[in-house]
Amino acid sequence: MAVRPAPARADASYEAFVQFFISAYDKGRDGNYSVAEINELVQQAVSAVNGAKSDVLVRLDRQLTSELRGKAEAAVTKVELLKVWWLAGPAIISTHDAAYSAKAHIGTVAGQDAELDAVGRAMIVLFAELNAAYIMVDAEEGTNSAAVQRPYLREGLEHLIREIQPECGRNTLPSAGYVSYVCTFNGRTVRAEYWSGSNSYRIDGGDAIPGQINEDLVQDLLMANTVLPNAERLLAELIRQGVGLP
């Protein structure tokens, strides 16, 4: 599926999870992780989860996502257990349940903008924590459980991206040489207006931009502070790594 490049304003706290999956792939490219590499990955995952968990839990504090919030809270509060090798296994139990619940919740909250954004963030956070835990267990037991989870993350990301799209509409007045393109998501609207006389358009009354309206730019500006740019970045990274679908 086509993946648009993420805008520069993508949420930095969730970009940390994209970087975690890049690091996990790069460090494990030879098929093995050294103890030092695992420790680095675990610290990276713990820092990322700790940096985002308050945001995730606040966003999940809604009626449609209350059940998932409890599972997510149980999982993210155990992230520090990953620093202790023999406690990674117990951490997997709650994190696995929460990650796959978040993935399933995408369908439950489809059409509910704020809830969909919250569930998408939770899914990314929880699958990263789950992968870090499985990387530790794999190194100890010679298994390959971390890699087994990534196709399901890819599947969840593709579902999320299909659902978390703005509502957009174009209006044309040929006699006036005027075109408008308006997009809305979660109560926020971005409007672009084109005038043929100047052959330029403005977004929300900003500076004139030469040429016809760039619809992708309008959508990117609207969705920049949602989970969508990070979901697209992470999906593109998983595809680059050769992760398939379940």
Average pLDDT estimate for 95-118: 93
- Cα 243 from Cα 115, distance rounded (Å): 27
Write down the mean pLDDT value for the chain: 89
Closest CA to 124 of 202, 213, 10: 10
| pLDDT value of residue 142 | 83
Burial profile 189-216: b = 16 or more Cβ within 10 angstroms, e = fewer: ebebbbeeeeebbbbeeeeeeeeebeee
Q: Which helix (H) or strand (E) is 94 found in, with range?
A: helix 88-108
- Measure the CA–CA gap between 53 and 57, rounded to whole angstroms: 6
pLDDT at position 7 over 50? no
Render pLDDT for 116-148 as a digit per residue (tens, 0 to 9): 999 999 999 999 999 999 998 888 888 888 899
Which pLDDT value is given to residue 91? Answer: 80
Q: Is the pLDDT confidence value at 102 over 70? A: yes
* pLDDT computed for residue 63 by the predictor: 63
Q: Cβ(110)–Cβ(80) under 8 Å?
A: no
| Chain position carrying tokens 């675990």 | 42
Both tokens of 106, joined, read 């995408």
pLDDT band at 88 (very low <50, low <70, confident <90, very high): confident
**Percent of the chain residues topping a pLDDT of 70:** 94
pTM score, two decimals? 0.89
